[in-house]
Structure 1
Amino acid sequence: MTASIPNEDKRIGLIAGNGRFPIIFADNAKKLGYFVSAVAHVGEAEPELEQHVDSIHWVKIGQLNKLINAFKSDNVKRVVMLGGVKKTHVFTTVRPDLRALALFARVALWKDDDILREIAAEIEREGITICESTFGLEGILVEEGTLASREPSKKEWENIRYGWEMAYEMGRLDIGQCVVIKDKVVVAVEAVEGTDGAIKRGGELAKDGAIVVKRCKPQQDLRFDLPAIGPRTIEVMASVNATVLAVEAGRTVMLDRELLLEKARQAGIAVIGIKHLEPIKA
């Protein structure tokens, strides 16, 4: 008996970067009845991803033509972009094909969002739609409120509010999504080292009691680079005695939720989902 072939509406493409986000998405999409075709970046995507998708194609960063042809070969018309690419790898492992080189020449400013928007536009010119990265993620987005058992103290809330505003400004400048705060002082801002690196650096400078705030950039394109937290985030915070993780509700993905919250409870770290905070009054 021949298995039925899913139609275009039940096919979804996955451009996979690093971390567990692509794996969790693939599992969720398959539960929803989708055929999942992945294009995975060598040196970034987890090899385990192969066991969680229906079809996989491995490409090096910058092999744009190969990426597009892979989705065409699987008859995929809709795609999500999930998982990051370590910015340090951009300097060492990018192998752009002619199509990518032409695209890079069109980018006026080498900011993350500008590059990703141009890549998305190139893919969409081939009839492949880039969906918002919240596609099919109901149930794993952070909700509003206190998520782990401990409520932040009054002093911690003051630092959360300050960090919320600073994260907005850093995002507006397209620098990063995460800031580390101690006594209303910014001790670290996420840059090329990523969130875990920023937490480690900021926590070591703060000594203890650091507050970690992560939120979308005000100009965030939800098709890519959605903030994500996971158990590793808590492990890094615990290693430097950070006390609070505040993230944007409805626009942050929580990976391995139960494990993350259990690790937070064990370490006494408050985890807060925030939608809106009033600005700090002078």
Structure 2
Amino acid sequence: MMAAAAARADRPPASQASGPVAIVAGSGRLPLLIVEALERAGRPCRVLAIRGFADPATRRRADATVDLLDVRGALDTLCGWTPAGVTLAGAVARPSPAALLNTLAAYRNRETLRSLASGGDDHLLRGVLALLEEHGLQVLGVRDLAPGLMAPVGRFGALGPDEAADASVAAGRALLASLSPHDVGQAAVVASRRVLAVEGPEGTDRMLDRARTLARRPLGLGRAPAAMVLVKRAKDGQDLRVDLPAIGPRTVKRAAQTGCIGIAVGAGDTLVLDRAETVALADRLGLFLLGLPPDPEPAP
């Protein structure tokens, strides 16, 4: 046992400054957008695709594939690459209790998975981070690797908010700040000072569906409340290496269908996927896009 402990102590860290960036890829376009940004910068990278979640294009680019619940297999692969850093990109679904009970990989890793799945999303992500760091892997965020994907401060479409929309944005921003300690969602739909919906575990798309119903727009008919906006921002204290709010063309389309006249997001902490397409679609549908600067520091 002492010899084994000594061998572990002598083992070099899994992360190496000269190694590739390892991208653990879930669903969506983000993993390949990061690959493109790294390749433009001349940085080597490897992709570990999560089976059943990574898109076909991502799987074709992947250097290896692993099951969602095969923690040991994922760690062995990542450590074997001796990466300069690891980033988690793309969406995955929280494993169900049935999956935890019936998957062989989950059985082998049942104590780790039981711990990770025992709390809210923030607890889960913190657990994943701790697990990677315990194995000597440095976790990097999208902001470190592809800062050009983040929302800028100010207007980044052709349109801007009017006074009424500014009031809605301010109300939504204050609401989300007040909810930050409670591990609630990252988005809300607000009309003037009336809160129509707050994002929960169902995600932004389904929240927008609820807001559309509550705004009394059956089948898309009728008039939406005045100055209705979607506000999306990171929670205070959120670890932005692994959990970033994001918008893209689908968000713009859904917000327009809900009756929103604009979208306001946290600048520097919100991803804008396929920005050119997102901005062009917002302009065409008559929505403003606004990047909100960080909240001012409280006075001492």
Q: TM-score range, shorter-chain basis? A: 0.7 to 0.9
Count of aligned residue pairs for this structure pair: 270
Q: Is 1:220 the counterpart of 2:229 in the alignment?
A: no
Could you tell me which of 153, 159, 163 is aligned with 2:162? 153
Q: Give the residue type in structure 1 aligned to 2:70.
A: Q
Please name the residue that 1:9 is paired with: 18
How far residue 264 of structure 1 moved from its aligned partner, in angstroms, is: 0.2
Cα separation, 2, equivalents of 1:235 and 1:48 = 24
Q: Is 1:74 the counterpart of 2:73 in the alignment?
A: no
Cα separation, 2, equivalents of 1:251 and 1:130 = 17
Q: Aligned to 1:79, what secondary structure does the other structure show?
A: strand
- Contact (CA 8 Å) 2:184, 2:199: kept in 1 or not? yes
Q: Give the residue type in structure 1 aligned to 2:278.
A: L
The CA deviation string for residues 83-103 of structure 1, in whole angstroms up to 9 with x for no partner, is: 22235x646656453464212
How far residue 253 of structure 1 moved from its aligned partner, in angstroms, is: 1.1
Q: Give the residue type in structure 1 aligned to 2:81.
A: D
Q: Which has the larger radius of gyration?
A: 2
The CA deviation string for residues 52-81 of structure 1, in whole angstroms up to 9 with x for no partner, is: x4x432222221111111112333241011
Cα separation, 2, equivalents of 1:172 and 1:99 = 34
Could you tell me which of 88, 91, 102 is aligned with 1:84? 91
Residues 108 and 76 of structure 1: is their aligned pair in 2 closer, same or farther, counting only changes over 3 Å?
A: closer
Q: Give the residue type in structure 2 aligned to 1:86.
A: A
Query: Which consecutive unaligned segments of at least 5 residues does structure 1 have?
Result: 1-6
- Contact (CA 8 Å) 1:160, 1:211: kept in 2 or not? yes
How far residue 10 of structure 1 moved from its aligned partner, in angstroms, is: 4.4
Q: Aligned to 1:97, what secondary structure does the other structure show?
A: helix
Moved more, 218-227 or 36-45: 36-45
Please name the residue that 2:277 is paired with: 259
Cα separation, 2, equivalents of 1:129 and 1:44 = 23
Residues 90 and 187 of structure 1: is their aligned pair in 2 closer, same or farther, counting only changes over 3 Å?
A: farther
Structure having the larger proportion of residues in helix: 2
The CA deviation string for residues 93-128 of structure 1, in whole angstroms up to 9 with x for no partner, is: 564534642124445951112111112211222121
Please name the residue that 2:203 is paired with: 194
- Contact (CA 8 Å) 2:19, 2:84: kept in 1 or not? no
Query: Which consecutive unaligned segments of at least 5 residues does structure 2 have?
Result: 1-15, 218-223
Q: Aligned to 1:212, what secondary structure does the other structure show?
A: strand
Residues 18 and 171 of structure 1: is their aligned pair in 2 closer, same or farther, counting only changes over 3 Å?
A: farther
How far residue 220 of structure 1 moved from its aligned partner, in angstroms, is: 0.5
Q: Is 1:141 the counterpart of 2:150 in the alignment?
A: yes
Q: Aligned to 2:239, what secondary structure does the other structure show?
A: coil
Cα separation, 2, equivalents of 1:233 and 1:92 = 31
User: Percent of pairs identical after alignment?
Assistant: 26
Residues 199 and 108 of structure 1: is their aligned pair in 2 closer, same or farther, counting only changes over 3 Å?
A: closer
Please name the residue that 1:47 is paired with: 56
Q: Give the residue type in structure 1 aligned to 2:254.
A: V
Could you tell me which of 94, 103, 128 is aligned with 2:112? 103
Q: Is 1:163 the counterpart of 2:181 in the alignment?
A: no
- The two structures, once aligned, show a CA RMSD in angstroms of 2.3
Cα separation, 2, equivalents of 1:97 and 1:124 = 20
Q: Give the residue type in structure 2 aligned to 1:179.
A: A
Please name the residue that 2:135 is paired with: 126
Please name the residue that 2:252 is paired with: 234
Cα separation, 2, equivalents of 1:189 and 1:92 = 29
Q: Aligned to 2:251, what secondary structure does the other structure show?
A: helix
The CA deviation string for residues 114-155 of structure 1, in whole angstroms up to 9 with x for no partner, is: 111112211222121111331221222111111111111111
Cα separation, 1, equivalents of 2:98 and 2:190 = 31
Q: Aligned to 2:189, what secondary structure does the other structure show?
A: strand
Residues 194 and 125 of structure 1: is their aligned pair in 2 closer, same or farther, counting only changes over 3 Å?
A: same
- Contact (CA 8 Å) 2:141, 2:240: kept in 1 or not? yes
Segments of 4+ in structure 1 off by > 6 A?
none
Query: What TM-score do the two structures reach when normalised by structure 2?
Result: 0.82
How far residue 17 of structure 1 moved from its aligned partner, in angstroms, is: 1.8
Query: What TM-score do the two structures reach when normalised by structure 1?
Result: 0.87
